[in-house]
Structure 1
Amino acid sequence: MDEEGAPRDGFTFESALRACSGAWSAELGRAVHRDALTAGLAADVSVCDALMEMYAQCGDMEMACQVFDAMPERDAVSWNVLLGGLLGHGGLSAQATEAWRRMLGEGHKPDSVVLSAMLWHHPGDGKQGREVHAWVIRHWLETELSVENALIGMYSRKNELGHALSVFESMPVRDLASWNAILSAHSQDFRVLMMFRRMVDFGARSDETTFMAVLSACDNLGLVEGGMRLFSEMENKYRIQPNVQHRTSLVNMLGKAGMVREAYEFMSKRACLGNEPTVLRALLHASSVHGNIRIGEISAEKLFDLEPENAHDFVTLMKMYENTGRLEDLEKVKKMMRDKGL
């Protein structure tokens, strides 16, 4: 276009900037930015929104904020783009909070995507989470599915099961994300298996995330029988192939209950787990806690081969030897660490 002297307007620059975002190329984006300034489009709201989105996508939030601050006029899209960019960079949550309040103060409304992001990215700030929830209620957005799911997720991370349930029970429509969110909220609650059965009775389809949430809760709560049954159903009834996280959770659960031999047998029957550091580490930890020297040594030996520079594995084995009075073996492990420079 430039070489042929074709006229370029705001839409041209918006399209070019979207292409730069898709290519994750801040360098090309800055070149388009320079051309936009030369073309006298520095104050065009749509072009500035596209510039902010491009810089945010490419990880340069400093430039995105500079573009925003220089805009003589802003619309709701401008604020949503800024907020989305700030929330996408976790370390900028304080600026996002300030931008949120400025946005509302100027009478602009966040879209459902940004609203959900506000809730997902601020799990530790209870006051702000309730502030956003109150805004949702005042503006009649309780029935926005993505927002409701984000509210459940926020209360789940704050361990406020009562509030999460209140949102869940009031939902006129639920999807898989809703069920997974409420199951995660039950991570410390013994009713988690009842909630899962309720999900099944409701006819909702489970996925890997569903089983991860319930198995993690069974691990946390020591619900060994229920967890084992659920794992079996996952494989045989629901035909979902367990991943490493599911299996590690099961090994953890058995190990915490003192069933170290059963955990080892579970791992041994699945050859693929014999070389998974997370599974072996869970088994080594359980062996150390419950004093199962034989299985602890087997796990540690495999870990030393897989992760020769991981000092934590050596330390766990040393603690096991120390706790069981095997001081000579403890000194051997210490020497191994010194020889490796750990």
Structure 2
Amino acid sequence: MYAQCGDMEMACQVLDAMPERDAVSCNVMLAGLLGHGGLSPQATEVWRRMLGEGHKPDSVVLSTILCHHPDDGKQGLEVHAWVIRHGLETELSVANALIEMYSRKNDLGHVLSVFESMPMRDLASWNAIISAHRQDFRVLMMFRRMVDSGVRPDETTFAAVLSACDSLGLVEGGMRLFSEMENKYTIQPTVQHCTSVVNMLGKAGMVDEAYELTSKRACLGSEPTVLRALLHASSVHANIRIGEIAAKKLLDLEPDNAHHFVTLMKMYENTGRFEDLEKVKKMMRDKGL
């Protein structure tokens, strides 16, 4: 009761006072600690005491404790070893949590080992493996494997794969997937999806195409995240026309954000527009930036 209400101090006192603790009480206590304080020293102590007394954590607790491990921590490896010894590596939620843990560590070898040994996979499994490939060119292959297996991608899937295409410069594949998302799967693009695509196109010097994508979607015209990506791409590739459009909208939305002024000044400086550069400097002085 105390653990569910968030009173961890009282819950610990009750647990300590119990003459005989069972697996249920330990699981409830550990789940409460993890839910309210993450992998705190208190939670770690309960975990070690639980194992020392021979109590078996359930799949929910195992999944939660794996998700809370720091990227560089060794305890996650200890938990994985415990999972293997007790034959729980095929539990779907546990396997998914292991994939996410190793993904945070950028340990693609262990990620693939866990994934390929899974007897069954759900949408969360595929989303986790695709996210793990965010810096790996096999990400598109993983997406196709997912679709071929009969699992329908969702908004999260496309957020992960489009972000990977942005990072890896996979423009053709990224645009094909963006089109599939809208036309085949009828998923409405979010700001996150569009920002990835604008960044991806901008890095490739396709600033006009990036602007066309945003101009077709009126809702994106007032999204600072998308506009910042567009302004940055315009500055890098000296696209004054689109850069000024993005900058004007950004300065209307965030008039005191000095970064927008600086990006605009760099664009003018790099293209020899020194008169415009001085105007922006004056605007900054007038605003006290």
| TM-score normalised to structure 1 length | 0.78
Q: Which residue of 1 aligns with 2:241?
A: 294
Given the alignment, which residue of 67, 74, 96 partners 1:120?
Answer: 67
Given the alignment, which residue of 51, 56, 77 partners 1:104?
Answer: 51
- Separation (CA, whole Å) in 2 of partners of 1:312 and 1:68: 53
Q: Mark the CA change 1:103 to 1:240 in structure 2 (over 3 Å): closer, same or farther.
A: same
Structure 1 runs not aligned, ≥5 long: 1-49
Given the alignment, which residue of 162, 169, 172 partners 1:222?
Answer: 169
* Contact 1:90 1:121 (8 Å CA) reproduced: no
Q: Which residue of 2 aligns with 1:55?
A: 6
Q: Which residue of 1 aligns with 2:92?
A: 145
Greater CA deviation, 90-99 or 77-86?
Answer: 90-99
Q: Mark the CA change 1:172 to 1:291 in structure 2 (over 3 Å): closer, same or farther.
A: same
- Separation (CA, whole Å) in 1 of partners of 2:34 and 2:257: 34
1:7-35 CA-partner distances (Å, limit 9, x unpaired) = xxxxxxxxxxxxxxxxxxxxxxxxxxxxx
- Separation (CA, whole Å) in 1 of partners of 2:274 and 2:24: 67
Higher RCO (C-alpha under 8 Å, 6+ residues apart): 2
Map residues 83-94 of structure 1 onto 2, 5 A cutoff: 83-89=30-36, 92-94=39-41
Q: Which residue of 2 aligns with 1:159?
A: 106
- Separation (CA, whole Å) in 1 of partners of 2:287 and 2:256: 8
- Separation (CA, whole Å) in 2 of partners of 1:235 and 1:201: 19
- Separation (CA, whole Å) in 2 of partners of 1:111 and 1:151: 15
Q: Helix, strand or coil: the match of 1:246?
A: helix
Q: Which residue of 2 aligns with 1:38?
A: none
CA displacement at 1:294 relative to structure 2: 2.1
- Separation (CA, whole Å) in 1 of partners of 2:52 and 2:278: 66
CA displacement at 1:300 relative to structure 2: 1.2
Q: Which residue of 1 aligns with 2:230?
A: 283
- Separation (CA, whole Å) in 1 of partners of 2:113 and 2:61: 22
1:141-193 CA-partner distances (Å, limit 9, x unpaired) = 01110000111111112111111111111111111111111111111111111
Q: Which residue of 1 aligns with 2:262?
A: 315
Q: How many residues align?
A: 289
Identity of aligned residues (%): 84
- Separation (CA, whole Å) in 1 of partners of 2:38 and 2:279: 44
Q: Which residue of 2 aligns with 1:21?
A: none
Moved over 6 A (4+): none
Q: Mark the CA change 1:304 to 1:91 in structure 2 (over 3 Å): closer, same or farther.
A: farther
Q: Name the larger-Rg structure.
A: 1
The one-letter amino acid of 1:51's match is Y
- Separation (CA, whole Å) in 2 of partners of 1:91 and 1:317: 42
Q: Which residue of 1 aligns with 2:219?
A: 272
Structure 2 runs not aligned, ≥5 long: none
| TM-score normalised to structure 2 length | 0.91
Q: Mark the CA change 1:299 to 1:94 in structure 2 (over 3 Å): closer, same or farther.
A: farther
Q: RMSD across aligned C-alpha pairs, in angstroms?
A: 2.1
Q: Helix, strand or coil: the match of 1:205?
A: coil
The one-letter amino acid of 2:171's match is V
Q: Mark the CA change 1:328 to 1:108 in structure 2 (over 3 Å): closer, same or farther.
A: farther
1:256 aligns with 2:198: no
Q: Helix, strand or coil: the match of 1:330?
A: helix
